[in-house]
Amino acid sequence: MNVAALVERLHTAARTATAIPRLTSAGDLDVATAYQVQAELVRRHGERLVGIKMGLTSRAKMQQMGVDEVIWGRLTEGMWVPDGGAVAHDRMIHPRVEPEVAFRLDADGEPVAVAVACEVIDSRYADFSFTLPDVIADNTSAAAFVVGPWRPLPAGLANLGVLLEVDGRVVQTGSTAAILGDPLRALARGRELARAAGLMAAPGWVVLAGAATAAVPLPAGSRVRVVVEDLGTASLTATAPG
Ligand code: OOG
Ligand code: MG
């Protein structure tokens, strides 16, 4: 399939908040080409890169999405919403939220700080349904994210309790152990994959380690909070309908 045409299809789907059929429903797409589509798509969006995200690093997510391989995507400045800020619900197709841990990198790509994060994902495919190459091409469903206050790396990150709340109700609970056994492992894998793709970490880069639980729908007008034991919180609101 023609990379430029696939990029255009995904770009338009994102910009108009209109779901499209999976790319693989029209023909074969291999993983390497899918990453090429992702790179071109993010270039097409025309936004500065601020880091990378890991995806499907927990069993909960692999099971929910029916894809059992770790993937990575690109984070851009337009996706980064200030902690406590609002995401534009009507500019998305069927947004979901998930609890994450974020790292901030120094010039050598080493983590210097950690924070709680909340990611908003919004697959550009109908019914939020895709195969591995589809989701890679779609920049791993990336739509928006918030990062709570940064703090120095604690002694251990491998087994901290995680809560996801929507309008004050706990809707998911889990542990950072779900993220490849330790979010630091997801970070290491992300750096490796980005480097293999020729992307060098810049100082201040953010790395999302991947969701610790399954994602839940983000209702218009709702408020979401993620709490991670010892690390703090991150929150966002979704703009109201109409
Ligand atoms: C793909 C993105 C996965 C994560 O944290 O596992 C992801 C999806 O579920 O649509 O961001
Ligand atoms: Mg995620």
Q: Which of 98, 124, 130 to mutate to test the pocket of ligand 1 (most atoms within 8 A of CB)?
A: 98
Task: Tell me: pLDDT of 130 over 90.
Answer: yes
Work out the pLDDT band at 187, boundaries 50, 70, 90. very high
Amino acid at 165: E
Token pair, residue 147, equals 């990062």
Q: How high does pLDDT run on average in the chain? A: 96
Phi then psi for residue 194, to 5 deg, are -65, -45
Nearest Cα neighbor of 38 from 139, 144, 141 is 139
Q: Give the 3-state secondary structure percentages of the chain, helix then strand then coil, rounded to 5.
A: 30, 30, 40
- Taking residues 194-218, report their average pLDDT: 94
Q: 3-239 falls under which CATH superfamily?
A: Fumarylacetoacetase-like, C-terminal domain (3.90.850.10)
pLDDT score, position 223: 98
Return the pLDDT at 47.
94
Distance CA 145, CA 202 (A): 19
Which is more confident, 187 or 155? 187
How far does residue 54's CA lie from ligand 2's centre (Å)? 7
Query: What radius of gyration do the chain's Cα atoms show?
Result: 16
Going from the Cα of 242 to the center of ligand 2, the distance in angstroms, rounded, reads 27
Q: Is the pLDDT of residue 242 over 80?
A: no
pLDDT band at 201 (very low <50, low <70, confident <90, very high): confident
The model's pTM is 0.97
For residues 222-241, give the mean pLDDT. Answer: 97
CA of residue 56 to ligand 1 center, whole Å:
6
Model confidence at 83, pLDDT cuts 50, 70, 90, reads: very high
**pLDDT over 80 (residue 56):** yes
